[in-house]
Amino acid sequence: MNHINISIINQFPQAFEKSLIAVIVTQENVDFLKSLWKNFPQNPEIFTKEKSISIQPNENECIVFQGYQHFKDLEPEKFRQHIFGWVTRLNKMEFENLYIYFPGIENHPQSKLLIRSIAEVPILSNYQYIHLKTKKEWNSLKNVYFVTENLNWENELNIATNVAKSTCIARDLVNDPPNLLDSVILSQKAIELGKKFGFRVEVFEKSRIESLKMGGLLSVNLGSKVPPTFSILEWKPEHPKNDKPIVLVGKGITFDTGGLSLKPFDAMSTMKCDMAGAAAVLGAMCAITSNNLPYHVIGLIPSTDNRPGENAYTPNDVITIYDGTTVEVLNTDAEGRLILADALAFANQYEPELIIDLATLTGAAVVAVGDMAIAMMSTANHDVTEQIIKAGFEVHERMVQFPLWDEYKELIKSDIADLKNVGPRSGGAITAAKFLQHFVKYPWIHLDIAGPAFLNSPDSYRGKNGTGVGVRLLYHFLETYEHWNKSQN
Ligand SMILES: [Zn+2]
């Protein structure tokens, strides 16, 4: 990850060095800007339409005037897209400094989100995973300056910087190749991140997982050479706003071949991303702790790879999950739900306020919503569910809610065990969730991130390959939801 400094300054420097200066023009601030800029573009379109005009007074400066009609026309995501455009352009010009000037930004109804974008989008847009290349070509962007009279925004910039960096940590984990990130290394990285950011980490090794009888995780691991791990992360600030913890569960399949139900090669080619749920949980823990969020949060990460080694678990096997449920395996490629079943059943002992799991769980979720959305299912109450949907829109990690009707459960009943691990092809994202629901005894939100976790072609500040989806969402959701149960004593 390359480092960018994000800071606030209250006036422009006398002279610019290799700088792109972005100025936001609306009908509300155009007169003020005209009075300020002697070479302000005379073109009226700039503030009557969404349009940008750029001037290059000398080889060290490029000024971009970005017009919007009114403050209200500026949705946070539109602003983010423009910031991504400026960063891209700046890097192309091999400039180092980005100045963003938006007089009146504090009058925007979503000013906080806009200001956070000023830190978050350059970091996300400038993300590179190139440390394995022998010749590293780093982007040129080094400094982002938010020009404003109001220095109080510094706190918002810091918060956003921490969240964006945590998203990049999740991206790194997803992009790490499977020979450099197996279940054991993932647990070691969790310990390192815990030390660095201040959350507690305990790792169960194979013997402990065996004594706990986590039959899902152990069965999936049978074909592997690397032992499974089960990592428990915990952040408990001094006076948490929630009495009972929020438990985050992340699927940590470090590589998914499908096992004996082997995937075709094209479907296998991106399967290092099958631990993106685990990466999101780790990234979220980093973001939560670095910003000192006043919530008690626990993260659970069951991890193994899924391979067809000689001892590999087999279709028709019946295995026993941590809570005693028996499962008939019909497809060894439906392994994520087996390791999550152990983790979700394990989560019940905390009597949590809420459980959220994140998993690259089903191809069916990708078929349904592509890489533009998370397939979400929820047993949490209406307020909580609405809040996570709203948070998803606000950070643009949007979700579509699917039902958890009882009829779907009929589709995963086994002839010889309590459940089978796959239903029919249709409704696959929902039957996978119904399978998980069997193990959960507390309010629960399921986020199937199979679509947006990994992109084969670049998309704006989400980049290419691992996106770190879930980190910004979880952080923003926890930060904005206020109504956790709190005893009145
Ligand atoms: Zn699989």
Q: Find the 385 Cα to ligand 1 centroid distance in Å.
A: 27
pLDDT tens per residue across span 294-305: 999 999 999 999
Q: Find the 330 Cα to ligand 1 centroid distance in Å.
A: 12
pLDDT tens per residue across span 310-324: 999 999 999 999 999
Q: Find the 336 Cα to ligand 1 centroid distance in Å.
A: 6
Q: Find the 446 Cα to ligand 1 centroid distance in Å.
A: 17
Residue 388 near residue 478 (C-beta atoms within 8 A): no
Q: Where are the alpha helices (DSSP H) in 126-260?
A: 154-175, 183-197, 206-211, 215-221
pLDDT tens per residue across span 424-437: 999 999 999 999 99
Region 390-410 average pLDDT: 98
pLDDT tens per residue across span 79-136: 999 999 999 999 999 999 999 999 999 889 999 999 999 999 999 999 999 999 999 9
pLDDT tens per residue across span 362-379: 999 999 999 999 999 999
Q: What is the model's pTM? A: 0.97
Q: Find the 234 Cα to ligand 1 centroid distance in Å.
A: 28
Q: Find the 333 Cα to ligand 1 centroid distance in Å.
A: 4
Q: Find the 75 Cα to ligand 1 centroid distance in Å.
A: 38
Above 90 in pLDDT, residue 276? yes
- Place domain 163-480 in its CATH homologous superfamily: Zn peptidases (3.40.630.10)
Q: Find the 294 Cα to ligand 1 centroid distance in Å.
A: 36
3-state secondary structure of 166: helix
pLDDT tens per residue across span 25-59: 998 888 899 888 887 888 777 777 788 999 999 99
CA distance 64 to 12: 15
Average pLDDT, the chain: 95
Specify the domain boundaries for CATH 3.40.220.10 within the chain: 5-149
Catalytic residue set = 263, 337
pLDDT at 487: 54
Region 247-267 average pLDDT: 97
Residue 428 near residue 444 (C-beta atoms within 8 A): no
Q: Which one-letter DSSP state was computed for residue 371? A: G
68: confidence class by pLDDT, cuts 50, 70, 90: confident
Concatenated DSSP letters of 101-120: E-TTGGGSTTHHHHHHHHHH
Of residues 159 and 46, the one with the higher pLDDT is: 159
Q: Find the 68 Cα to ligand 1 centroid distance in Å.
A: 46
CA distance 66 to 68: 7
- C-alpha R_g of the chain: 24
336: confidence class by pLDDT, cuts 50, 70, 90: very high
**Proportion of the chain above pLDDT 90, given as a percent:** 89
Above 50 in pLDDT, residue 405? yes
488: confidence class by pLDDT, cuts 50, 70, 90: very low
CA distance 164 to 287: 8
CA distance 462 to 33: 32
**Proportion of the chain above pLDDT 70, given as a percent:** 98
Above 80 in pLDDT, residue 484? no
Let me know if 79 is exposed, middle or buried by CB neighbors in 10 A (0-12, 13-18, 19+).
buried
Q: Find the 103 Cα to ligand 1 centroid distance in Å.
A: 50
Above 70 in pLDDT, residue 422? yes
Above 50 in pLDDT, residue 489? no
485: confidence class by pLDDT, cuts 50, 70, 90: low
Q: Which one-letter DSSP state was computed for residue 298? A: E
pLDDT at 486: 61
Specify the domain boundaries for CATH 3.40.630.10 within the chain: 163-480
pLDDT tens per residue across span 169-210: 999 999 999 999 999 999 999 999 999 999 999 999 999 999
Q: Find the 257 Cα to ligand 1 centroid distance in Å.
A: 7
Q: Where are the beta strands (DSSP E) in 102-163?
A: 143-147
Q: Find the 407 Cα to ligand 1 centroid distance in Å.
A: 24
3-state secondary structure of 430: helix
pLDDT at 1: 59
Region 441-467 average pLDDT: 98
What count of other Cβ atoms lies within 10 Å of the Cβ of residue 72? 12
With respect to CATH, is domain 5-149 assigned 3.40.220.10?
A: yes
Query: Residue 62: beta bridge partners?
Result: 20
Region 71-75 average pLDDT: 85
Q: Find the 459 Cα to ligand 1 centroid distance in Å.
A: 25
